[in-house]
Amino acid sequence: MQNPERSIVILGTGGTIAGTAVEAGDTIGYRAAQLGVASLVRDVPGLAGQALETEQVAQLDSKDMDYGVWQALARRCAHHLARPEVGGLVITHGTDTLEETAYLLQRVLAPSKPVVLTAAMRPASALHPDGPQNLLDALRVANEPGARGVLAVLGGTVHPGAEVRKSHTYRLDAFCSGDAGPLAYVEAGQLRRLREWPQGEGLGLDLLEPEAADWPWVELVSSHAGADGRVVSALQALGVQGLVVLATGNGTVHERLEAALVRARAAGVKVWRSTRCAQGRVLAKPGDLLPDAGALTPFKARVEVLLQLLLEARRQHGA
């Protein structure tokens, strides 16, 4: 449903959706981020006549996403969301770190207009690229009256930005929303919504104001057979400020690794437990030695720890 009075801004960051390969049949040996976002829009016939603006914020393979790009993207989102003539945003992104960018934007901005991330599993040069349909579907969602929050649209499925995760390495339906399931489906140009739009208060764009090089250092470590605490001790000696452990099962951690993490936490390192399981959440229980991340995946938990450390730094600076 197109709103004729308001435009949609499409922000490009690169990714597979903008990738090309020498051979049209090559869907894994391509180079990401080769085409500009304006070119992507021109190549989708269904977008002709829509009130659209395009802006290239970055041009990179999303495996190489960094804090500087996050800062620039969040600022451009905030700028365009503040314009009354803009009804929503679409962001073209790589699939590899889309879930992290989506979580960050939802937590920082929690927009009252839709901010829709979309991507592709096949490059633009493929015989049957999925990017054009994903872009068309994302614009359909961005034009939906009443839509709000950060969303991800891929393969005809709408995911909340705080919950979306990449769950397959290669196939076209590579994303899911965890236990809660999709927010909606785009079916033949129509939106079928299953649950409510994302809600909540944003932490504020000013949280991301420090120079990217000054952001806290947060790393992931994994619990597994034979794990010990040497990696934690090494990271702590190098100045790590936050750690998220990919725990086994319901947040269990190898005793040697757990002992090192407890020591690190006592020394001031922020430590959270998530689970390396593909589904489910960590359920807290009496006697837990380390705080848990609840339903957050390890990668979203890492972003949340990063944001919490930035909040603490801002409070200390304000004090």
CA distances from 153 to 111, 157, 161, 210, 248 (A): 17, 6, 10, 31, 30
Give the C-alpha separation, 272 to 304, whole Å. Answer: 10
Q: pLDDT tens, 112-140? A: 999 999 999 999 999 999 999 999 999 99
Whether residue 211 is contained in a domain is answered as no
Are the C-beta atoms of residues 274 and 282 closer than 8 Å to each other? Answer: yes
150 plus 93 within the same structural domain: yes
Q: Which run of H or of E encompasses 27?
A: none
Q: What are phi and psi of 66, to 5 degrees?
A: -140, 175
56 plus 139 within the same structural domain: yes
Q: pLDDT tens, 65-106? A: 999 999 999 999 999 999 999 999 999 999 999 999 999 999
13 is in an annotated binding site: no
Task: Characterize the bridge pairing of strands 175-176 and 184-187.
Answer: unpaired
- 95 belongs to the catalytic site: yes
Banded model confidence at residue 264, pLDDT cuts 50, 70, 90 = very high
Whether residue 208 is contained in a domain is answered as no
Per the structure, the complete domain to which residue 173 belongs is given by 7-193
From the list 16, 101, 118, 157, the catalytic residue is 16
62 is in an annotated binding site: yes
177 plus 240 within the same structural domain: no
Taking residue 252's Cβ as centre, other Cβ atoms within 10 Å add up to: 14
Are the C-beta atoms of residues 237 and 270 closer than 8 Å to each other? Answer: no
Are the C-beta atoms of residues 8 and 143 closer than 8 Å to each other? Answer: yes
From the list 13, 27, 95, 101, the catalytic residue is 95
95 is in an annotated binding site: yes
131 plus 226 within the same structural domain: no
Residue 213 amino acid letter? A
